[in-house]
Homo-oligomer: A and B are copies of this chain.
Amino acid sequence: MTVPERYPSKLLEDAVQAIGSLPGVGKRSALRLALHLLRQPAENVHLFAESVVKLRDEARYCKVCRMISDDELCSICSDNRRDHNTICVVENVRDVMSIENTGQFHGVYHVLGGIISPIAGVGPSDLTISALVDRIKEMVSSAAAIPSEVEVILALSGDVEGETTSFYIFRQISGFGIRVSSLARGLGFGDDLEYADELTLGRSIIGRQPFRP
* A interface residues with partner B (beta carbon < 8 Å): 3-12, 14-15, 17-19, 21-25, 29, 31-38, 40, 42, 44-59, 62, 67-70, 74-76, 92-94, 96-97, 100-103
Q: A interface, by DSSP: helix, strand, loop or mixed?
A: helix
A65 to chain B, nearest CB (A): 9
**Distance A44 CA – B52 CA, assembled complex (angstroms):** 11
Nearest-neighbor residue (CB-CB) of A94 within chain B:
B31
A54 to B46: give the CA distance in the assembly, Å. 10
Cross-chain pairs A/B with CB under 8 angstroms, 16 sampled: A8-B93, A9-B74, A10-B70, A14-B51, A14-B54, A15-B54, A18-B48, A32-B94, A35-B68, A35-B92, A35-B93, A37-B52, A37-B55, A37-B56, A49-B50, A49-B52
User: Distance in Å from the Cβ of A194 to the closest Cβ of chain B?
Assistant: 25
